[in-house]
């Protein structure tokens, strides 16, 4: 969004996943539009830990915005090494642990699908991290509440949710998947109701903060996430549609809160499930 607006208006910037070694990602095509969303199969493309530390994070310092560094890996050891190094960067204020990656030492099962495995990874990263650790939950699980509780017990400082849902598009002319990888992660407005429901369930089961994401486009969307139990939000896919979506939401929120008679947005957290707060009434 550089060149469109002053990035200092943002609360933080979440950078894409960093792994120990550079990754070139999946073959193209790896992005496809869907009704109400987008499929992507980027494949964790990134320049690797050393270049991120030496070039990308120093370059981001000019914007004076806290960085939340997403980290990924194929083994526990890789996660731990990346976490220890990147968390020492001066502008990194938190880590986002991407647990949707396959664990090569456990038959390729994703770290984020087995609560005990996710909890152990969280515990080991927490031991070396110099900043708070947020864990990004995958919606592609049977019981996301059990996953969240296990991660909280392992010492996570917070959760981010939800990651993308696995989806596919098929080209009717060829009969083949549109994405070269076959499947991809579905994001955008289509996943918002799922994200809201999962945050609603998880926020009642844990006491750590949640950064909500999944289809946010407007100030009204933000309030939905807060009502469900999030205490902050992140915007991703909408930036591809409107590069000004973030400053627009920031500008629109105060008027919306005033219209609803809400003094501060923190009053909205969990309002949908907290006792006696199931209805929000606008001022006459």
Q: What is the CATH number of the domain that holds 161?
A: 3.20.20.70
Q: What is the distance between the alpha carbons of residues 171 and 174, in angstroms, rounded to a whole number?
A: 6
Structural domain boundaries enclosing 141 = 7-192+200-213
Looking at residue 53, what DSSP letter applies?
I
Q: Tell me, what's the pLDDT at 21?
A: 98
Listed in sequence order, the residues at least 6 apart from 117 whose beta carbon sits closer than 8 Å to its beta carbon are 103, 106, 109, 111
Q: Tell me, what's the pLDDT at 4?
A: 84
Q: Tell me, what's the pLDDT at 101?
A: 81
Whether 254 maps to a domain, the answer reads: no
Q: Tell me, what's the pLDDT at 119?
A: 98
Whether 141 maps to a domain, the answer reads: yes
Q: Is the dihedral of CA 270, 273, 274, 277 positive or negative?
A: positive
- Catalytic residue positions? 101
Domain count, the chain: 1
Buried b (16+ CB within 10 A) or exposed e, 197-216: ebbbbbbeebebbbbbbbbb
Whether 227 maps to a domain, the answer reads: no
pTM of the full predicted structure?
Answer: 0.94
Q: Tell me, what's the pLDDT at 283?
A: 43
Whether 113 maps to a domain, the answer reads: yes
pLDDT in tens, the chain (284 residues): 677 899 999 999 999 999 999 999 999 999 999 999 999 999 999 999 999 999 999 999 999 999 999 999 999 999 999 999 999 999 999 999 999 886 666 666 789 999 999 999 999 999 999 999 999 999 999 999 999 999 999 999 999 999 999 999 999 999 999 999 999 999 999 999 999 999 999 999 999 999 999 999 999 999 999 999 999 999 999 999 999 999 999 999 999 999 999 999 999 999 999 965 444 444 43
CB-based contact 161:213 (threshold 8 Å): yes
Q: What is the distance between the alpha carbons of residues 24 and 237, in angstroms, rounded to a whole number?
A: 21
Q: Tell me, what's the pLDDT at 109?
A: 72
Whether 228 maps to a domain, the answer reads: no
- β 92-98/133-136 pair status: parallel
Whether 159 maps to a domain, the answer reads: yes
Q: What is the distance between the alpha carbons of residues 268 and 13, in angstroms, rounded to a whole number?
A: 23
Whether 238 maps to a domain, the answer reads: no
Whether 264 maps to a domain, the answer reads: no
In a 3-state reduction of DSSP, which class is residue 186?
A: strand
CB-based contact 17:170 (threshold 8 Å): no
> Where do the DSSP E strands lie in the chain?
13-18, 31-34, 37-40, 67-71, 92-98, 133-136, 158-161, 165-167, 184-187, 210-212, 232-233
């Amino acid at each position: 969004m550089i060149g469109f607006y002053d990035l200092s208006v943002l609360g933080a910037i979440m950078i894409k996943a960093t792994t120990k070694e550079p990754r070139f990602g999946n073959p193209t095509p790896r992005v496809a539009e869907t009704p109400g969303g987008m499929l992507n199969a980027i494949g964790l493309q990134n320049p690797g830990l050393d270049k991120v530390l030496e070039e990308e994070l120093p370059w981001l310092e000019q914007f004076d915005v806290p960085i939340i560094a997403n980290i990924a890996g194929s083994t526990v050891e890789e996660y731990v090494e990346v976490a220890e190094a990147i968390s020492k960067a001066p502008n990194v204020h938190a880590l986002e642990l991407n647990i949707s990656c396959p664990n090569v030492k456990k038959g390729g099962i994703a770290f984020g699908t087995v609560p005990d495995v996710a909890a152990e990874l969280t515990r080991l990263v927490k031991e070396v991290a110099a900043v708070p650790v947020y864990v990004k939950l995958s919606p592609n699980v049977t019981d996301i509440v059990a996953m969240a509780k296990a991660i909280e017990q392992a010492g996570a400082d917070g959760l981010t949710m939800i990651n993308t849902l696995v989806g596919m598009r098929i080209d009717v002319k060829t009969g083949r998947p549109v994405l070269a990888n076959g499947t991809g992660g579905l994001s955008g407005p289509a996943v918002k109701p799922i994200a809201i429901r999962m945050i609603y369930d998880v926020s009642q089961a844990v006491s750590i903060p949640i950064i909500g994401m999944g289809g946010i486009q407007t100030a009204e969307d933000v309030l939905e996430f807060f009502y469900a139990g999030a205490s902050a939000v992140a915007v991703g896919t909408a930036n591809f549609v409107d590069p000004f979506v973030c400053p627009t939401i920031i500008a629109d929120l105060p008027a919306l809160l005033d219209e609803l008679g809400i003094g501060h947005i923190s009053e909205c957290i969990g309002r949908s499930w907290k006792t006696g707060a199931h209805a929000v009434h606008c001022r006459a």
